[in-house]
Chain A
Amino acid sequence: MSNAETTRAPFDPAVLFKALFLGLIAIFVLVPLLATLLGGFKSLGELRVNPFGWPKHWEWQNYADILFSARYWQLLRNSLIISTLAVTLTLITASMAAFTFAHIKFYGSSALLSYLTLGLLFPAATAVLPLFIKVRDLGLLDTYFGVALPQVAFSLAMSVLLLRRFFKDIPYELLEAALVDGCSYIKFFRYVTLPLSRPILATVGTITFVNSWNAYLLPLVMLNTDALYPWPLGIMVYQGEYSSEWHLILAFITLTILPTIILFLLAQKHIVAGLTAGAVKG
């Protein structure tokens, strides 16, 4: 930032304090995560006397049993299906609506946009009972759509706002020229707007995906058959069944959060930008 900082004295107490402070916070963050990972490799007996340390005897069996169980993969598959549905539908409906709001002037446009923004103001939980009744009456209870559609509806507000802002930045001249050339709005949307908007689509997609992948309340209320459970529900059931067998529960937690962590490490910059930008701009 400035020269004064790059040429700091070798034994600056402020630096020492800073290092200590950062180290302390890092430990605070890391210890629960590492203990969970390692706990899965211990036996229940060892966990009780040695919850922090390295496993004395590595119980690969804990992890292997879960990895080779149909249950684990079924949970991940269900989560993937629901999240993919939610992301796809959100991207399609939100980008279409955002395109309309960005490029077409019509009476009531701003009123409709504010109407959609209402969705930012309150969480899905406020109306979850009527939502349940609605989903039941539509016959969607206990289906993937019964979870995904409300998720899409609740992600629309933020998504439309983000997309509209981006679409608006696409030069108007481009649209005019295309229309003069006989290109329709729809073709312009399909062949110009969408390809140009990959970054923001990725951002919206990331936000929706993370929210849907981690969601608990909506699936809890809408799904009854455990064959349809996404992993957050499944892991709660697992914990209910194995109540005190923490070594198994820890292994299960580790394996279920593993996809998220791998994804995060692979695409960290993108995810951070997406999640914080989404928050800021929304």
Chain B
Amino acid sequence: MKAQGIVHKYKDNVDTDVIIPARYLNTSDHKELASHCMEDIDKEFVSRVKPGDIMVAGMNFGCGSSREHAPIAIKASGISCVIAGTFARIFYRNAINIGLAILECEEAAKDIDAGDEVSVDFDTGVITDITKGHTYQAEPFPDFIKEIISAGGLLKSLKK
């Protein structure tokens, strides 16, 4: 599995309240959630994002509320992968459980800039910044998590 796209870059401690503000949690409609994704820290994200784009952020991405609406909004906005220095643990679980690809790589998260074109190989964990000509090695998922992702999410893996 691979992804390739243009980077949207954010800082440390991006919390789920800014990924999808609580005022929009009166719905679970994926498209509606996506239409407000990131709006409290980046009003232009929704109009700028293209299918396949990649989100890159610093440490502790997705901290705060456990709302699964956050990874849902990111995924439904067209983002193919989130790369961060570290992820808050509930966001990490949620992303895996709903099938949003995520990779932890502190070096890549620091170096890659907004607007760079980046490709990601999930089997090997190799991240390539095509614009800069750099590659980075992220830890690939353990087999247990690969099974959930390849089944198409946690519930589908349980029903197998």
Partners in one complex: no
Spell out B's residues near A (CB within 8 Å).
none
Spell out A's residues near B (CB within 8 Å).
none
